Amino acid sequence: MGRRALRKIDPVLDLSRNLRTFEQLPRPWNPEALFGRGGPVELEVGSGKGLFLRTAAAAHPEINYLGVEIAPRYARFAAAGLAKRSLTNAIVAIAHVGDVFDQLLPDESLAAIHIYFPDPWWKRRHQKRRIINEPFVRQLERTLRFGGSLHFWSDVEEYFDLTLKLLAEHTRLEGPLPVPEATPTHDMDYRTHFERRTRLHGQQVYRAEFRKAARSGDRPILRDDSATIA
């Protein structure tokens, strides 16, 4: 399923609080400089239209969310959704997520990483473009803080199984932990727009969670994600 056309953004909206380019992200990495406050940071790989960022930021105002979206028009659309709701604890960066991990994020800097429905690059000759590969899963483990979690969902069973294999072979993350499918309570009660479309078309969604084991003496990260954020 390809991406649908986006609605026009209200030109009155000020996106400056919720939108950054890669060049505008702080160097060295400094969450307080980016969000204007301290607190845990969770990162979403490929924010699309921004449904997850909007609903997660509203549900967990104590957490800072960074969405990384390579397509400028989708990044602006997601940022507009945040600005419209005055959600100051979430920012969308127009960037390639590989650059963010490789050049910006230090070890143990993220409380959670969210990867929902990454592009499967169906043609065999294009599959080398898939974001999830051996170097990338090592970056996921490196940047997760102890006790942090990785959330990975896909509608492509082959890609899902390959990702689980890569995580098992090249990281020490604990999992996969089962993630039950939540029953939506309203029309937009889904983790992302893509999950909504997939499930409304009667297609399977494959879900898994992984965790970076806490060190002895660390306080575990406890947060109720049992229900779908919406």
Report d(CA 195, CA 198) in Å as an integer: 5
On the question of a cis peptide bond just before residue 184, with omega within 30 degrees of 0, the verdict is: no
Residue 61 exposure: Cα atoms within 13 Å on the Cβ side = 5
Tell me, yes or no, if 155 is annotated catalytic.
no
Domains of the chain with bracketed CATH:
19-211 (3.40.50.150)
Report whether 170 contacts 137 (CB < 8 A): yes
pLDDT score for 4: 64
Beta bridge partners of 16: none
Angstrom CA distances, 226 to 64, 80, 96, 108, stand at 20, 28, 30, 24
3-state secondary structure at position 210: strand
pLDDT score for 171: 98
As a residue count, the chain comes to 230
Q: What is the pLDDT along the chain (230 residues), one digit of tens a residue?
A: 455 678 889 889 999 999 999 999 999 999 999 999 999 999 999 999 999 999 999 999 999 999 999 999 999 999 999 999 999 999 999 999 999 999 999 999 999 999 999 987 556 665 677 899 999 999 999 999 999 999 999 999 999 999 999 999 999 999 999 999 999 999 988 888 878 888 888 999 999 999 999 875 555 454 545 434 43
pTM of the full structure: 0.89
Catalytic residue among 102, 107, 119, 161: 119
